[in-house]
Structure 1
């Protein structure tokens, strides 16, 4: 079964190779597949200014293979919405210790018809509930809104849609709640936590332990 690993400044050394694979998959998805030309880079990895020690990654792994991922970042620090897309929230941005920014979400192409997507969405709700986070902010394509609603997420637009890279996009906040977690866990077929925290080192390549399917 796919597990969602929590990676932050305390354990990222244990996941060096996993994170490198995640950055390469981000390039494949966002640059090659979705055509975000501004992210193009020679080394084939998609890394930006917010991939630093303050970032938190929730990565979906089958064994040591990355099949999806997402990034969270403190809104009390300069972040993507405040520094790049502030014009998309003309009435102001939610910024507090209990608010995180949610970016770089993806599921690899061959797993999009399975439950990896719902497990990643469940991971957002569960992790944030455990950490005392009440909402997350994001800039997303408009087609995300019905997906979130189907998953039981409570969404509040922060402004009107604008076109980015040829797609209508919107800044929004998503509420964190037990009701939303229960709903998306039912869709994901989860009866217990899918989060893995503090996985130990394994071997010279710093791979995480194998997770049985």
Structure 2
């Protein structure tokens, strides 16, 4: 069964293999499929400055295999919009303790027609509600906007679209709300919480098993 696991610096030791899968899949999808040549490297991993102790990963894992993922990062620290894409924001970069940046979202190709996408979107809203995060910001291709609207997300553009890696992209802010969470759950027929949050000090905590070869 696919569950979305919350991974932070506090429990990362339980998920090292899954984190490496996440980096490999990011390379396959963002470089191989989407053609982001600026991320191309020799090791087949996509890792950037923001994959550090402050990153929070929400990974969809099924029997030890990562089938989707996303990353959240505090906007009070230097982050992707403030350091790489400030030119996409016209009216000031949103930065606050309750605003996080949302990046590196993907679902593996064979799961894109199922519920994994909605599980990940619901998990993001659920986690942010639990942590009193009111908004997330992101830089995305324009085709994301109708998808977000379909799932009930309230989106606020932060500037005008510009071409990045050959695609029209936009910086946007997404409101976190119980209504958005319920809408995406209903859309996919999801019931109840989406998140698994293992504490490394918990007696039941155990390393996530490796995917079968």
* Normalised-by-shorter TM-score class: over 0.9
Runs of 4+ in 1 over 3 A off after TM superposition: 199-202
Residue 61 of structure 1 is matched in structure 2 by 61
1:1-213 correspondence to structure 2 within 5 Å: 1-198=1-198, 202=206, 206-208=207-209
Measure the CA separation in 1 of the matches of 2:189 and 2:50. 32
Measure the CA separation in 2 of the matches of 1:157 and 1:140. 11
SS, match of residue 105 in structure 1: strand
Report if the CA contact (8 A) 2:198-2:205 is conserved.
Answer: no
Give the drift of 1:208: 4.7
Give the drift of 1:198: 1.0
| TM-score, reference length from structure 2 | 0.94
Give the drift of 1:19: 0.2
Measure the CA separation in 1 of the matches of 2:189 and 2:8. 26
In structure 2, stretches of 5+ residues that fail to align are none
Report if the CA contact (8 A) 1:91-1:159 is conserved.
Answer: yes
In structure 1, stretches of 5+ residues that fail to align are none
SS, match of residue 15 in structure 2: helix
Aligned length: 207
**Which 10-residue stretch deviates more, 5-14 or 183-192?**
183-192
SS, match of residue 126 in structure 1: helix
Give the drift of 1:183: 0.1
Measure the CA separation in 1 of the matches of 2:210 and 2:183. 29
Distance 1:198 1:208, change over 3 A: farther
Q: Deviations over 1:47-106 (max 9, x none)?
A: 000000000000001121000000000000000000000010021011000000000000
Distance 1:209 1:178, change over 3 A: farther
Measure the CA separation in 2 of the matches of 1:107 and 1:19. 15
Give the drift of 1:209: 9.2
Give the RMSD, CA atoms, in angstroms: 1.4
